[in-house]
Structure 1
């Protein structure tokens, strides 16, 4: 039996989901986010850290919007996760740390979602420990709830989403559906 056959069906999840955000809305939100980011980093080349895997679709599109506004970026990525395919978080596991020196640099962390913020807080603190002078967060989505850990917020937000299990556009359903061109929410968690 393969790992793929052990996962819940993405087709079943989609049949049991609502489309919360369509592609056109995502595109508009990302374009709008680029304006204040380009202003805040004008004349600089920040370290643009994509948090894998989820932020990949968003980070790519946002970087193009920033380039269209004249902002150059130094690309790198990190992979830190608490989920590892599960639907609830555990201990933070680092799978890849950036190769770019952060010492004396401004850093823009780019992530798909700010939920409770445990992972983002740990990553931000790590960047500061590496000598970054400023660490800001660009999150495609922020969940609407009051469970966010103290000390973490996104300076740049694309959209707020309901406090439901969401997937698509970088966010996964059991490591599936990250490349869906919209954001979906399960009607009920199976």
Structure 2
């Protein structure tokens, strides 16, 4: 346990484990020798993971370009419904290999929307990399090609993920205990 902002947090995935997994994932991606790779980070939660992943890709000899997209899933109550684009990528997708990067894969609706959007816009291939995968929450038929950790069914914070805009700065992923 660690105390942050007066709250007790249980560390689920520590800083060193995250560094190792990102390096492993970057190695997997680099082994495919992706040319003309465009990394599209899904904001806001993925920004820390995406930054570390593109630096790891560089260390593995991959020189991707980077774009950002912000998506929102809305519907009745807390159940996700339609997905809408809040902030779109600025550059062309056509003819590019795309790697969508997100913090966590849960229901899959948002990432399915993003992948379909990239393919519809002419991406030659589109893979997904996520730091965390909550398989038990899947509502859409989608899986990530690159996964850091299988995540338990708890609400997580840190490493870019927040609760009420807090805890994004943490170098680990944890859950608030109190």
Question: TM-score higher than 0.5 here?
Answer: yes
Aligned residue for 1:96?
A: 87
Cα offset, 1:116, TM superposition: 1.2
Aligned residue for 2:63?
A: 72
Q: Give me the whole-angstrom Cα distance separating, in 2, the residues matched to 1:43 and 1:162.
A: 31
- Contact 1:165 1:185 survives alignment (8 Å): yes
Cα offset, 1:150, TM superposition: 3.5
Query: Does 1:23 find its partner at 2:15?
Result: yes
Deviations 1:93-117 (A, max 9, x none): 3221111111121100011111111
Which of 26, 29, 48 aligns to 1:37? It is 29
TM-score by length of 1: 0.83
Superposition misfits of 4+ residues, deviation over 6 angstroms: none
Q: Give me the whole-angstrom Cα distance separating, in 2, the residues matched to 1:29 and 1:177.
A: 21
Which of 47, 63, 68 aligns to 2:54? It is 63
The residue correspondences of 1:146-161 to structure 2 (distance < 5 A) are 147-161=137-151
The residue correspondences of 1:1-190 to structure 2 (distance < 5 A) are 11=5, 14-15=7-8, 17-40=9-32, 42=33, 44-82=35-73, 89=80, 91-145=82-136, 147-187=137-177
Q: Give me the whole-angstrom Cα distance separating, in 1, the residues matched to 2:36 and 2:31.
A: 12
Give 3-state SS (helix, strand or coil) of 1:166's partner. coil
Ranges in structure 1 where 5+ consecutive residues have no aligned partner: 1-9
- Contact 1:139 1:157 survives alignment (8 Å): yes
Distance 1:18 1:129, change over 3 A: same
TM-score by length of 2: 0.88
Cα offset, 1:11, TM superposition: 2.9
Q: Give me the whole-angstrom Cα distance separating, in 2, the residues matched to 1:88 and 1:30.
A: 30
Cα offset, 1:186, TM superposition: 3.4
Cα offset, 1:87, TM superposition: 7.3
More strand as a share of residues: 2
